[in-house]
Amino acid sequence: MLPLHALLFFVEGTKLKTVEHLKYLIRIFFNDGTLDKEINARILKASQALGRLRMRVLRKLNIRYCMKMKVCHDIVFIGLLYGCETWTRYKGHLRQLKQFHHMHCL
């Protein structure tokens, strides 16, 4: 059997271009079929969102702690895990996500 990257696909006689990654909705699909790059990209985006929140919300003294945690959960962690029910998760992926959560929540 040929590797996936060696297969040619045609639509009405036109050869489709082979790409290394494809963004569909919020998910990125890579041609190697693994989730490693997807999870790393999600962690990076969650870290960036957390950094923006830290500047605008989390360091404010007039906002209650429980409200800060709710905002953090709703923006950062929901975005991090959006669509994860479709992932085939492995121990290494779960370890990465737990490590991010423990580093930024506790």
Q: What are 48-83's pLDDT values in tens digits?
A: 888 888 888 888 888 898 888 888 888 888 888 877
102 in helix, strand or coil? helix
Instruction: List Cβ neighbours of 82 (8 Å cut-off, separation of 6 or more).
Output: 26
Segment among 10-14, 25-29, 46-50, 86-90 with least mean pLDDT:
25-29
pLDDT tens, position by position, 94-105: 888 888 887 876
Contact present, 62 and 24 (Cβ < 8 Å): no
pLDDT for res 12: 92
Contact present, 104 and 73 (Cβ < 8 Å): no
**Cα–Cα distance measured from residue 24 to residue 34, given in angstroms and rounded to the nearest whole number:** 16
Report the pLDDT averaged over residues 22-49: 80
- Identity of residue 73: H
pLDDT for res 73: 84
pLDDT for res 54: 86
